[in-house]
Amino acid sequence: MNSADAFRQEVRTWLEENCPPSQRRPIVREEQVWAGRNKTFPNNDAKLWFERMRDRGWTVPDWPQALGGGGLDEQQTRILKEEMKALGCRTPLYDLGIWMLGPAVLEFGTEAQQHEHIPKIARGEIRWCQGYSEPGAGSDLASLQTRAEDCGDHFLVNGTKIWTTNADKADWIFCLVRTDPAAKKQEGISFLLIDMNDPGVTTTPIELISGESEFCQTFFDNVKVPKGNLIGELNKGWSVAKALLKHERKLMSEIGGDTPGPSFGPVQAALEYIGLGEDGKLKDLALRDQLVRHEMNFRAIGLTHFRSFEERMHGLADPNVPLIMKYVGTEETKNKDELLVALLGHQALGWGGAGFNDDEILTTRGWLFSKALSIAGGTSEVQLNIIAKRALELPEHNAQA
């Protein structure tokens, strides 16, 4: 047995012994365990599972052990994820700090900043949210206007951030702020961490077409922020943000694996809501063709994730492959949700009340929510701009010509 197989065996045994059966059922939104100062658990099993994973450092398996992580390499991390998926283990802890801020602090933060923030993220003690977009700065993120004025021992922050996901429940926010108003766009931006409890910070939720209000708008009115909360160099926040966006896009390209949704996939839904004819084919042949197109595309995307991983393992990584994954992943998820709605027919039209089961309502809400996937984290159009520029090296447009 090689070391990878031995590790897989060890992981499997540990998971089987330590993951309570209730934590192996598909996740529902109400039972997700989110980080936070006032963390709550839906039940004792969820608490137990979180604590066991936390104590092994496996809430953040690939972070350094000294900072509360699991110290696993890329292959081991992958094995852990595969084994968790095979057993159906739930993600023990949800937090933007794990997915986005942590990797950026590990890359750009000082040692003091790492010791301050990383262990808290690993242990789920602080819930983080993100402050990038502004009402006037969406796809054109670099035109952001929130000011952080240098006042000697602190910054004075004024402005507003929008699409701050779960900001009303978060403890801290990581923000892009303008520290040099005279500099050109990207050059005068810094990356700042702000405690949501600080005086002058307020947040209001925004209701979406899906009926949810995960997204918020956050206002900063003369908020005093210590200088030590600056990550990376002053006016160099754009490079931190870019590194972090890569993590967000990677996460979004993998979305669907662990987000709440109906308990059925498209094939199951087709069998249940349409059924097979005597010839063994789905009774609606037009929908059958749509279904098989989706299934084939989904498999091709999965194989591409795997190819990209294998290439990295063999030192043959193609830097251009990760560029496409946010675009193809989110577009296919939208496509899948449209397909589910079509497959469920009238049963996907409910907003609530009697006559619709939970899976049907989740299908409808999920379909509406999926529209945000190709907008958040860089729109599909921005992704195509990036592919054209970086992978294909096509020239910049000259509006004056």
**Residues classed as catalytic:** 248
- Say whether 106 sits in a helix, a strand or coil: helix
Contacts of 40 (CB under 8 A, 6+ apart): none
Q: Binding segment for another protein among 15-23, 113-121, 163-171, 322-330 (CB under 8 A)? A: 322-330
Indicate if the alpha-carbon torsion angle 112, 115, 118, 120 is positive or negative.
negative
Asked whether position 306 contacts another protein by CB under 8 A, the answer is yes
Determine the Cα–Cα distance for residues 161 and 143; give it in Å rounded to an integer: 13
Asked whether position 307 contacts another protein by CB under 8 A, the answer is yes
Asked whether position 311 contacts another protein by CB under 8 A, the answer is yes
Phi-psi region of 315 (alpha: psi -120 to 50; beta: other; left: phi over 0): left
Asked whether position 2 contacts another protein by CB under 8 A, the answer is no
Asked whether position 85 contacts another protein by CB under 8 A, the answer is no
Nearer to another protein, 37 or 299 (CB): 299
**Nearest residue to 372 (alpha-carbon basis) of 258, 198, 210:** 210
Residues linked to residue 155 through DSSP beta bridges, in sequence order: 150, 225
End-to-end CA distance of the chain: 64
Contacts of 131 (CB under 8 A, 6+ apart): 146, 161, 164, 167, 173, 174, 175, 176, 194, 218
Nearer to another protein, 21 or 280 (CB): 280
Q: Binding segment for another protein among 190-198, 202-210, 232-240, 306-314 (CB under 8 A)? A: 306-314
Nearer to another protein, 354 or 399 (CB): 399
Number of DSSP helices (H) and strands (E) in the chain, helices first = 12, 8
Q: Which helix (H) or strand (E) holds 381?
A: helix 380-386
In angstroms, what is the minimal distance from the CB of 385 to another protein?
7
Asked whether position 255 contacts another protein by CB under 8 A, the answer is no
Amino acid at 202: T
Asked whether position 86 contacts another protein by CB under 8 A, the answer is no
* Of 3, 30, 286, 397, the one binding another protein by CB under 8 A: 397
**Nearest residue to 322 (alpha-carbon basis) of 243, 375, 397:** 243
* Of 324, 361, 372, 373, the one binding another protein by CB under 8 A: 324
Asked whether position 140 contacts another protein by CB under 8 A, the answer is no
- In the stretch 275-304, what mask flags binding to another protein with x, by CB under 8 A? -x---xxx-----xx-xxx-xxx-xxx-xx
Q: Binding segment for another protein among 63-71, 108-116, 218-226, 267-275 (CB under 8 A)? A: 267-275
Q: Which helix (H) or strand (E) holds 118?
A: helix 111-122
Asked whether position 271 contacts another protein by CB under 8 A, the answer is yes
* Of 270, 340, 361, 362, the one binding another protein by CB under 8 A: 270
> Other CB atoms closer than 10 Å to residue 139's CB: what's the count?
12
Nearer to another protein, 111 or 396 (CB): 396
Nearer to another protein, 239 or 290 (CB): 290
**How far, CA to CA in Å, does 115 sit from each of 6, 185, 230?**
32, 32, 15
Residues in the interface with another protein (CB under 8 A) total 46
Query: Nearest 5°: phi and psi at 387?
Result: -60, -45
- In the stretch 332-371, what mask flags binding to another protein with x, by CB under 8 A? ----------------------------------------
**Nearest residue to 371 (alpha-carbon basis) of 323, 334, 321:** 334
Nearer to another protein, 48 or 386 (CB): 386
Nearer to another protein, 271 or 349 (CB): 271
Contact 145, 137 (CB under 8 A): yes
Asked whether position 401 contacts another protein by CB under 8 A, the answer is yes
Which residues contact another protein (rule: CB under 8 A)?
267, 270-271, 276, 280-282, 288-289, 291-293, 295-297, 299-301, 303-304, 306-307, 310-311, 314, 316, 320-321, 324, 327-328, 381, 383-385, 387-388, 391-398, 401
